[in-house]
Amino acid sequence: MAKGTKYTSKMPDAAGVIHYSAEENAVWQTLITRQMACVQGRACQEYIDGLALLDLPTDRIPQLGEINAVLGRTTGWQVAQVPALIPFDEFFRLLANKAFPVATFIRTEEELDYLQEPDIFHEIFGHCPLLTNPDFAHFTHLYGQLGLKASKEDRVFLARLYWFTVEFGLVNTEKGLRIYGGGVLSSPGETRYALESDKPLRKPFSALDALRTPYRIDIMQPVYYVLENVHQLFDIAQLDIMALVSEARQLGLFEPRFAPKEKKAS
């Protein structure tokens, strides 16, 4: 989670409606139009099915109530309006209560291709389609419950599990390798890179390995973990994940497959 942000979430009015400017809606239109085309043939079917259920508008930013209507009748989840950045306690509390946090700002035209903090496009387009899927929804709910009870030290390891599944996960399908991670599916560059580049290492998913794998948020990922199918997320949720966290802490982290982040000159 970023330490600071220049963005501020927009608050709903008394009727629960968030008012976006024409410029903000235009950014959404640009983002969703190009990414809808990009994910075809690259996203897993469960994501595509969820996208169809959400029926996201292309000419404006959707209202959270529209998303909640679909999530509520499919998996019982909701989205919750939050500030641009929230404490980890609040993040886990929301997930534990089947509420997915959504910061209600959208990136500027200058940051169309990359944004460090998650905006409404990343959260709605990247994650909400799969929240209509029972296996993904169950895994995310269980993850929130674990994180809420975990120590600060254990949460650092849990963050890696989330990163290599919910954010940057890949999955094998009958049609070949596909994407289910929202961090990939909301980025045109990484959507292509994750499947088509010969640079990253793609490994069969292991919860213990994922817990031990370092990552950086500001680069194309050097490692992706691949599920056998989306239902495997339900199976992962049945594991004793906190016992695996303890084992990962004892074993230590793998050697990073990336260079250290350069320090900015003071």
Q: Which residues are catalytic?
A: 122, 127, 167, 186
Contact 122, 105 (CB under 8 A): no
Q: Which amino acid is present at 217?
A: I
138: Cα separation from own chain's centroid: 15
Q: Report the number of secondary-structure helices (H) and strands (E) in the chain.
A: 12, 6
User: Do the annotations mark residue 141 as ligand-binding?
Assistant: no
Query: CA 37, CA 30: separation in Å to the nearest integer?
Result: 11
User: Do the annotations mark residue 122 as ligand-binding?
Assistant: yes
Q: Tokens standing for 137?
A: 């929804």
Q: Look at residue 208 and give its three-state secondary structure.
A: helix
Query: CA 232, CA 98: separation in Å to the nearest integer?
Result: 20
Q: Look at residue 173 and give its three-state secondary structure.
A: strand
Contact 144, 97 (CB under 8 A): yes
Query: CA 138, CA 177: separation in Å to the nearest integer?
Result: 23
User: Do the annotations mark residue 231 as ligand-binding?
Assistant: no
Query: CA 165, CA 42: separation in Å to the nearest integer?
Result: 16
- Please classify residue 37 by burial: count the beta carbons closer than 10 Å to its beta carbon, then call 0-12 exposed, 13-18 middle and 19+ buried: exposed
Binding residues: 122, 127, 167
Binding residues for Fe cation: 122, 127, 167
